[in-house]
């Protein structure tokens, strides 16, 4: 691993270094973060494709001392360079998707419009391309016994990583922090929509034995029926349900322990930033009132770590970019740092 024994964690973050100001490289780092600048199918606000770059810049303001896990950074975290070809492909297909979404929102027939049919086909082909690209990137690193984090982008990005995790680890579960179910079937006609990520994962990955969703507060009746008919392969903790239980005297500790108990021994954390209160992520792609404080989510994650279950990977998605400050990126950088520390601590 990278020799960080002489690195002073209290100095100003050096922009010439890597993520969090660490003087690391890929070969000698235990954890590799793959940026995925992709937001083709976002259905409300765009900007998440630029999140990896913004989070990297904001990460220089994150203090390396984490009282929960003080020395994880010494194992080395490395953020790969952003693949500009992926970003350019996302930008191009995003424009096609915007035109297509506007067209279908007016009730027009796609089959009757040659251009719209072509746009839909190209967006779906782009989704397949991205899934393969992410799968190949993550599989290669896992085969080298690296720990891997994925940084989006929209929430469609981790499907290929889920598949690589299944090949590496066998049966596993996903702990999903999110405002949405993400169980739509080809939402808006896009096979690999950000709103379909968990449906696709459950459909295409038999090793995914349990999906535990936390913070859900905006969903369709078709998704709810899918959950009810999942034979407990999906267990959902709604935002309102959690708050009601707390209003009636139950502690977050008790609820967190219950959530963790529902997960299998190997757990992947899928963190959509819109699971937080919008004041923490005002420019996220599809904001919804309600949600968690960041320290509530961190508490849940720490309880998972202390449970003895193994965290095998994570993704962080839907961090938006906008406004006069880099607030979203600042919060995203802190969420990313905690996830990195957790993953390393869970895999000594």
Distant-in-sequence, close-in-space partners of 295: CB < 8 Å, separation ≥ 6: none
CA 210 → CA 19, 155, 199, 216, distances in Å? Answer: 32, 18, 12, 16
Pairing of strands 172-177, 31-36: unpaired
Q: In the predicted model, what is the mean pLDDT of residues 264-273?
A: 98
Q: Is 210 helix (H, G, I), strand (E, B) or coil?
A: strand
Residue 44: both structure tokens together = 């409300």
Residue 120: both structure tokens together = 């839909």
Q: What is the pLDDT of residue 90?
A: 97
- 80-89 residue pLDDT tens: 999 999 999 9
CA 141 → CA 26, 29, 136, 248, 339, distances in Å? Answer: 10, 11, 9, 46, 18
Q: What is the pLDDT of residue 324?
A: 75
What is the three-state SS of 219-245?
CCHHHHHHHHCCCCCEEEEEHHHHHHH
Q: Which of 69, 53, 61, 60 is nearest to 23 (CA)?
A: 60
Q: In the predicted model, what is the mean pLDDT of residues 301-330?
A: 94
Q: What is the pLDDT of residue 163?
A: 98
Q: How confident is the model at residue 164 (pLDDT cuts 50, 70, 90)?
A: very high
Q: How far apart are CA 119 and CA 313, in angstroms?
A: 33
Q: In the predicted model, what is the mean pLDDT of residues 277-287?
A: 93
**In the chain, what percentage of residues exceed pLDDT 90?**
91
Q: What is the mean pLDDT of the chain?
A: 95
Q: How confident is the model at residue 235 (pLDDT cuts 50, 70, 90)?
A: very high
Q: What is the DSSP string of 272-293?
A: EGGGB-GGG-TT-SS--S--B-
Q: What is the pLDDT of residue 4?
A: 86
Q: What is the pLDDT of residue 178?
A: 98
- 92-111 residue pLDDT tens: 999 999 999 999 988 888 88
Q: How confident is the model at residue 44 (pLDDT cuts 50, 70, 90)?
A: confident
Q: How far apart are CA 157 and CA 143, in angstroms?
A: 20
pLDDT over 60 at 64, yes or no: yes
Nearest 10 degrees: Cα torsion 196, 327, 16, 20 = -70
Homologous superfamily of domain range 19-345? Ureohydrolase domain (3.40.800.10)
328 touches 281 (CB < 8 A): yes
Q: Which of 208, 197, 236, 190 is nearest to 317 (CA)?
A: 197
Q: How confident is the model at residue 2 (pLDDT cuts 50, 70, 90)?
A: low
Find the range with the poorest average confidence among 5-14, 144-153, 326-335.
5-14
pLDDT over 60 at 1, yes or no: no
């Amino acid at each position: 691993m990278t020799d960080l024994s002489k690195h002073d964690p209290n100095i100003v973050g050096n922009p010439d270094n890597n993520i969090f100001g660490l003087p690391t490289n890929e070969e000698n780092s235990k954890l590799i973060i793959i940026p995925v600048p992709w937001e083709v199918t976002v259905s409300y606000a765009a900007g998440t494709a630029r999140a990896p770059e913004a989070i990297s810049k904001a990460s220089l303001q994150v203090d390396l001392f984490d009282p929960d896990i003080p020395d994880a950074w010494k194992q080395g975290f490395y953020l790969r360079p952003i693949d500009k070809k992926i970003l350019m492909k996302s930008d191009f297909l995003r424009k096609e998707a915007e035109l297509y979404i506007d067209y279908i929102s007016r009730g027009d027939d796609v089959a009757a419009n040659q251009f719209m049919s072509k746009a839909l086909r190209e967006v779906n082909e782009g989704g397949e391309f991205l899934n393969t690209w992410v799968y190949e990137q993550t599989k290669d690193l896992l085969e080298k016994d690296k720990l891997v984090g994925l940084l989006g982008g929209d929430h469609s990005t981790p499907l290929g990583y889920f598949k690589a995790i299944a090949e590496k680890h066998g049966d596993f579960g996903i702990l999903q922090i999110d405002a949405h179910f993400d169980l739509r079937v080809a939402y808006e006609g896009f096979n690999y929509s950000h709103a379909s990520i968990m449906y696709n994962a459950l459909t295409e990955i038999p090793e995914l034995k349990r999906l535990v969703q936390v913070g859900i507060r905006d969903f369709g009746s078709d998704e709810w029926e899918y959950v009810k008919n999942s034979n407990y392969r999906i267990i959902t903790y709604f935002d309102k349900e959690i708050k009601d239980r707390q209003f009636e005297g139950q502690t977050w500790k008790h609820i967190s322990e219950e959530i963790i108990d529902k997960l299998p021994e190997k757990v992947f954390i899928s963190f959509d930033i819109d699971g937080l209160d919008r004041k923490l992520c005002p420019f996220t792609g599809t904001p919804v009132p309600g949600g968690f404080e960041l320290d509530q989510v961190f508490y849940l994650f720490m309880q998972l770590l202390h449970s003895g279950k193994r965290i095998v990977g994570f993704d962080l998605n839907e961090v938006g970019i906008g406004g006069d400050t880099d607030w979203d990126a600042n919060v995203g950088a802190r969420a990313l740092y905690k996830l990195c520390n957790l993953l390393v601590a869970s895999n000594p």
